[in-house]
Chain A
Amino acid sequence: MNAYQITLIGVGLIGLLGFFVFWGFLTLSDRYGTGLSRRTREAVKIAVLSEITFFVCVVVTVILQDGESWLGEVRYLPWIISGVPLALIFGYIARRQAETLLYVAEHPKLRIFLSSVTYILLLDWVLISLTGSAFAVIPDAMPEIPTGSAAAILERIPLLAPEVICLAAISVVFWKSGEPRTPSSVLRIRNKLFSAGTMCWLVVELIEMSFPLTDAFLAEREAVFVSSVLTLMQALILALSIVFWLLGFIKHRSRTDLDIWRERFLEWSRLREMLGIARAKIRFQSNRVLMTHEYHLSASAKCLGLSEDDRRKAILTLHMTCVLSEATSHDLFYKRELRVQREDLLKCATLQDHLRRSNAISSSFELRLTDGSDRASYGLRDDLLYEVLRPTLWITQIPLQTDISRCPLWTQLAALSAAHAGLLAFDSQQKIFTSRKLHSDVVSTYKLSMDISSRERI
């Protein structure tokens, strides 16, 4: 192994370490809230993951290629061929990144651009691998490639282009998170600083890509001069990048309680809206089974003498279970672009817990509006949907671990109804049907309601 290879491996490992630190920062910040949306964090994480994959590729390439260009070298045939699946894996990751970025950027043109770049990149990798394989099969066809030619530039593209795309994506993500939608001005400044830091890093990589151009288009003496200027510029911009990141971290530490409170409020509000819309829209998914069991549930709740609130909570639990079921969640995503996951319910409930406990919201603050003769009011402390989020999670967990019989009657009723409607996993359904611990009145009333209904149909 020569000095060049050792340096490259060193740079790769330092880069890898840097990205792990970056990843750790994001993960740690998740716990306290970053002001970035969930989708934004996902996008950044996927970008980081693809970046790490890229570094692993670089390190493996350097170890295997042994200082020479791999093109046309017969002994590197296994590597060249293995490059194709590797390119496919990388292409897939990069495509996921581009797709996820859509949610962040909300800009179709940017998405199209990123998708196109990814496909071109994928094609590039495949072509290089295939060309290399062809040269390997016919060794005489292999041309002599002088250093500093266009081929040397082309060789750098597949290595550095993914990194450039990843950095651009991360930069865009931070820039978008620096917009007013992020609640606190401190977080907005921090995200803008992070974006500037990443952009500087991007420029460093672009300079790195353009190095072979100096050898290709300039005389030897001029090339040496330009290269040294470019290296100096790289060092300065890299230093600037570190300054931006450090300032960003300093800003990150200066958040106040009010900043944290505001970002929690906004995240809760968006999650609550998404869950509310998903619940309201499932009735229009032509789901007859749900309607039927909603009817049985309602009738049983009345027979059991449950209060109006408990009856509504049971129905809401049934609806939320339906939202989480595989078929409905697929429909909600493809027809209405609503992706509801179990974690969203838990996060919404946890955030609402924080808000309910906070001093900023006193019980006297609630929303009121007279709509015709009806008066609607909403307070964080009397939100029925909030009250059913955790019971829904208990019912839908796989495998079913919660002892449903210890839950209130309305939860037992909702669980039984969801099991009859086929909204739960098979094992959970069987567990509920065969459970002797469920309140006998719940089971018998529900059965009676179903029997009466089937007799009426006959």
Chain B
Amino acid sequence: MRFRIQNPIERFFSRVWNPVEQLPSLEDHLLDTTGLDSRSPGDLDTFIRSLGEQLSIEIEVITNAPTADTDLETEFGVSMTVAEMLYDPASEKAVIFVPTHIREDHFLFFKFVLHEVSHLVSGHPIPVLDSARDVWWPPKRLARSTPGRDLHHNEREADLRAEWSLMVALTGRETQDAENHETTF
């Protein structure tokens, strides 16, 4: 486990303080990511670049070439992991690694890139490249809520944000904007 485990007392107080798991709703997500993708919702290049600019970090998406790194490809293939984001301290950038077998399916590719990017939006700790234990906490985040250390909660939050981003990207922000649907919200 790469993340520092909360001690039982800390965990107890965190549960008492926050008994129901708080996940962002679509409305929360739209508010958090205001200004990121208003011009062209489907263009993830712009989305990722503007996110990087706001967080002052470079984000790079890497996929395996079909013939190269077959060991790594197999490692990803046999494991439960689908894609992974690591922080490279040497180049000071976040690297999102998507194996080729996932890259082939464009839906999965986008979903998991958005999932990993969502960790940055929420300010979740990111594992450091070539280190089994260290994590890097992004100095800035877009989400209003404070990031937690619970790995499962973070994954669920990133998953949900990825789904909201996908929905917004495929339909346009205007369709989902809360202001246009006062009666619904």
Decide: A284 and B61 in contact? CB cutoff 8 A: no
Decide: B108 and A280 in contact? CB cutoff 8 A: yes
Give the 10 A-B CB pairs with smallest separation, nearest first: A284-B77, A180-B25, A378-B106, A369-B44, A276-B108, A180-B23, A280-B101, A367-B110, A276-B105, A360-B171
Could you pull out 27 A-B pairs where Cβ atoms are within 8 angstroms? A180-B25, A180-B26, A180-B160, A185-B185, A266-B167, A269-B167, A280-B104, A281-B77, A284-B101, A336-B80, A337-B80, A361-B171, A365-B171, A366-B42, A367-B106, A367-B166, A368-B43, A369-B45, A369-B48, A369-B61, A371-B61, A372-B62, A372-B63, A374-B63, A376-B106, A380-B170, A383-B107
CA–CA, A258 and B182, complex, Å: 12
Decide: A376 and B181 in contact? CB cutoff 8 A: no
Q: Does B142 reach chain A (CB closer than 8 Å)?
A: no
Chain B, range 128-185, C-beta contacts under 8 Å to A: 152, 156, 160, 163, 166-167, 169-172, 175-176, 181, 183-185
CA–CA, A292 and B45, complex, Å: 38
Q: Give every chain B residue within 8 A of A313 (Cβ-Cβ).
A: none
Q: Does A122 reach chain B (CB closer than 8 Å)?
A: no
A328, chain B: closest CB distance, angstroms: 14
CA–CA, A262 and B24, complex, Å: 15
Q: Does A259 reach chain B (CB closer than 8 Å)?
A: yes
How many A-B Cβ pairs are below 8 Å?
A: 120
Chain B, range 8-36, C-beta contacts under 8 Å to A: 20-21, 23-28
Q: Please report A residues at the B interface, Cβ cutoff 8 Å.
A: 106, 175, 179-181, 183-186, 188, 256, 258-259, 262, 265-266, 269-270, 272-273, 276-277, 279-281, 283-284, 336-337, 360-361, 365-372, 374, 376-378, 380, 383, 385
CA–CA, A376 and B43, complex, Å: 11
Question: In the complex, which residue of chain A has the Cβ closest to the Cβ of B61?
Answer: A371
A293, chain B: closest CB distance, angstroms: 18
Decide: B170 and A365 in contact? CB cutoff 8 A: yes
User: B47-58 vs A: 1/0 string, CB under 8 Å?
Assistant: 010000000000
**Interface residue tally on B, bucketed by range:** 35 or more
Q: Please report B residues at the A interface, Cβ cutoff 8 Å.
A: 20-21, 23-28, 41-45, 48, 61-63, 74, 77-78, 80, 82, 101-111, 113, 152, 156, 160, 163, 166-167, 169-172, 175-176, 181, 183-185
Decide: A365 and B42 in contact? CB cutoff 8 A: yes
Decide: A371 and B63 in contact? CB cutoff 8 A: yes
Decide: A368 and B45 in contact? CB cutoff 8 A: yes
Q: Which of B43, B77, B105 has the most CB of A within 10 A?
A: B105
Decide: B107 and A272 in contact? CB cutoff 8 A: yes
B45, chain A: closest CB distance, angstroms: 5
CA–CA, A146 and B169, complex, Å: 70
Decide: A179 and B20 in contact? CB cutoff 8 A: yes
Q: Give every chain A residue within 8 A of B20 (Cβ-Cβ).
A: 175, 179
A439, chain B: closest CB distance, angstroms: 28
Q: Give every chain A residue within 8 A of B104 (Cβ-Cβ).
A: 280
Decide: A367 and B42 in contact? CB cutoff 8 A: yes
CA–CA, A365 and B175, complex, Å: 12
CA–CA, A195 and B109, complex, Å: 37
B30, chain A: closest CB distance, angstroms: 12
Question: In the complex, which residue of chain B has the Cβ closest to the Cβ of A338?
Answer: B80
Given contacts A106-B152, A262-B26, A367-B110, contact A184 B184 (CB under 8 A): yes
Question: In the complex, which residue of chain A has the Cβ closest to the Cβ of B111?
Answer: A273
Q: Give every chain B residue within 8 A of A188 (Cβ-Cβ).
A: 25
B76, chain A: closest CB distance, angstroms: 9
Decide: A258 and B105 in contact? CB cutoff 8 A: no
Question: In the complex, which residue of chain B has the Cβ closest to the Cβ of A279?
Answer: B105
Decide: B110 and A378 in contact? CB cutoff 8 A: yes
Decide: B103 and A371 in contact? CB cutoff 8 A: yes
A455, chain B: closest CB distance, angstroms: 27
B26, chain A: closest CB distance, angstroms: 7
Q: Give every chain A residue within 8 A of B41 (Cβ-Cβ).
A: 365
Given contacts A181-B23, A361-B171, A367-B169, contact A376 B110 (CB under 8 A): yes
B165, chain A: closest CB distance, angstroms: 10
Decide: B181 and A273 in contact? CB cutoff 8 A: no
Question: In the complex, which residue of chain A has the Cβ closest to the Cβ of B80?
Answer: A336
Given A262-B176, A370-B45, list of 15 further CB < 8 A pairs? A106-B156, A179-B23, A180-B28, A181-B156, A256-B183, A258-B181, A266-B163, A272-B107, A277-B108, A284-B74, A360-B175, A365-B170, A367-B44, A369-B61, A372-B63
